[in-house]
Amino acid sequence: MKTNQYTQSDALFQRALKVIPAGIYGHLGPAGGCAVPPSAFPKYVSRTKGAYFWDLDNNRYIDYMCAYGPNVLGYADEDVDQAVLAQMQQGDCATLPFGNMVDMAELMVDTVTSADWAFFAKNGGDVTSLALMVAKAATGRSKTILVKGNYHGVAPWTQKMGAPGVVPEDVANNLYVEWNNFEQLEQLVEQHKGEIACFMSTPYWHPAFVDNQLPAEGYWQKVRKLCDKHGIVLAIDDVRCGFRLDIRGSDHYYGFEADLICFCKALGNGYNFSALCGKDSLKDAIASTFYTGSYWLSALPFSAGLATINKLKALQGDELMRSQGTLLTQGLRATGQKHGFNLVISGEPSMWYMRIANDDSLMLHQQWVAECVKRGVFFTNHHNLFMNCAISAEDIATTLDVADEAFSVVAQRNPHALIA
């Protein structure tokens, strides 16, 4: 197989470094730590369609990062883009909202089991921060319990004490528990009786750099009971899992109902908006908060969202991504085994995490991912990957061929590391 060159991408990145901090900042850039070694990864995209993107040097990739989640139906989905184009003829950002905002809220309430209302913003972090405000407004309490390792965005309260720009006051009201440790949560609630406004967590544990973990049997049901007993708002951050596990919400998937649920990534197939949904009991509290943004009520994303959710329902996209993800991950594991690699897969099949476990340093994994990327299968290291509805059986077969060759390159380079 030929391996990719990144001449145009690298040249543009050099220009970017002069005028943009870090060239490409955050998780999409080499500074994010998931594209290691940076030389193995393209830096810019030139076009997208379905399961693929093409980089600036015209190399094509089967993309298992899906823009870190938003690409759920396939890039440039015709139904979504047609809906957006039709709305574009009428306008986007105006002094008043367009009527499709109400259509979108109705669709969320009809679709998501725990939703009695929907409030729209732009980014995932907008609605995780809003969830805490709502919980504090409703309870009159200050503290939040979070799960160690969970990501909720970049607002100062979500960051670690000691991170550049974060001061003690930013995180003073956060308390932390281990994932799946109900006894620890119970103890903390007891210690801080009457002080906890909110328990916020992702539906399962999907941090970067570690094997992901599903909820233990009965965990969420016990958490629900505990929150009810102590008047604590139970908020689910479904920004990443939302609509990939279950169109009715990931709380529904795991058999409970949250009080608040945050959505973003898959909501509009890449068109830009997020949503906080919640129970009637919190409707007055959210209405009492002052929270808005210049573009939050613009109309194009709502048209995209309506088309996206309706198409996901028609395709049974959650089941499709689960079954395709299962096929792919089973195939990857077996291909690794053939070459002497133990590829450990964790998380949910539509959003799996993988790691070559032959060495503790994760260097073999980085080598293998680099060889896949250079051959047109876009994975990143140490972050969960994503399925989308446009990935075909043929794409999966191509991916397994590429993975096979990449494993054989890494095996030849590291014979001492192989499992007999």
Ligand X SMILES: Cc1ncc(COP(=O)(O)O)c(C=O)c1O
> If DSSP states are collapsed to H, E and C, what string results for 114-161?
CCCEEEEECCHHHHHHHHHHHHHHHHCCCEEEEECCCCCCCCHHHCCC
Residue nearest to ligand X (CB): 124
For residue 330, the minimal CB distance to ligand X (Å) is 25
**In the Cβ-directed half-sphere of 105, how many Cα atoms lie within 13 Å?**
17
- Give residue for tokens 């608040």: 260
Of 131, 358, 101, 395, give the one whose Cα is nearest residue 239: 131
For residue 34, the minimal CB distance to ligand X (Å) is 12
Specify whether the CB–CB gap between 301 and 271 falls below 8 A.
yes
Token pair, residue 105, equals 């809220």
**In the Cβ-directed half-sphere of 25, how many Cα atoms lie within 13 Å?**
6
| Rg (the chain; Cα; Å) | 22
Angstrom distance (rounded) from CA 61 to CA 272? 23
Spell out, one character per residue from 202 to 221, where the chain touches ligand X: x when CB under 6 A holds, - when not.
x-------------------
382 binds ligand X (CB under 6 A): no
Token pair, residue 226, equals 């505990």
For residue 393, the minimal CB distance to ligand X (Å) is 28
Judged by CB under 6 A, the number of residues near ligand X is: 13
* CB atoms closer than 10 angstroms to residue 415: 8
Residues 6 or more apart in contact with residue 244 via CB below 8 angstroms:
69, 72, 266, 318, 321, 348, 350, 351, 386, 387
Specify whether the CB–CB gap between 107 and 309 falls below 8 A.
yes
For residue 362, the minimal CB distance to ligand X (Å) is 21
Residues numbered 304-363 forming contacts with ligand X, rule: CB under 6 A: none
251 binds ligand X (CB under 6 A): no
Kindly tell me which residue out of 44, 54, 117, 151 binds ligand X, with binding defined by CB under 6 A. Answer: 151
For residue 151, the minimal CB distance to ligand X (Å) is 5
Residues numbered 183-202 forming contacts with ligand X, rule: CB under 6 A: 202
* CB atoms closer than 10 angstroms to residue 187: 12
Kindly tell me which residue out of 111, 123, 329, 399 binds ligand X, with binding defined by CB under 6 A. Answer: 123
237 binds ligand X (CB under 6 A): yes
24 binds ligand X (CB under 6 A): no
Kindly tell me which residue out of 29, 42, 50, 153 binds ligand X, with binding defined by CB under 6 A. Answer: 153
Residues numbered 82-111 forming contacts with ligand X, rule: CB under 6 A: none
Specify whether the CB–CB gap between 108 and 118 falls below 8 A.
yes
Range list of H helices, 157-299: 168-171, 182-191, 219-230, 250-253, 283-288
- If the CB atoms of residues 158 and 367 are measured against ligand X, the closer one turns out to be 158
Kindly tell me which residue out of 43, 141, 143, 152 binds ligand X, with binding defined by CB under 6 A. Answer: 152
124 binds ligand X (CB under 6 A): yes
For residue 68, the minimal CB distance to ligand X (Å) is 6
For residue 150, the minimal CB distance to ligand X (Å) is 7
Kindly tell me which residue out of 100, 128, 144, 388 binds ligand X, with binding defined by CB under 6 A. Answer: 128
For residue 239, the minimal CB distance to ligand X (Å) is 4
176 binds ligand X (CB under 6 A): no
Token pair, residue 114, equals 């725990």
Spell out, one character per residue from 53 to 72, where the chain touches ligand X: x when CB under 6 A holds, - when not.
---------------x----
Stretch that binds ligand X, among 54-62, 234-242, 342-350, 352-360 (CB under 6 A): 234-242
**Which chain residues interact with ligand X by CB under 6 A?**
68, 123-125, 128, 151-153, 202, 237, 239-240, 264
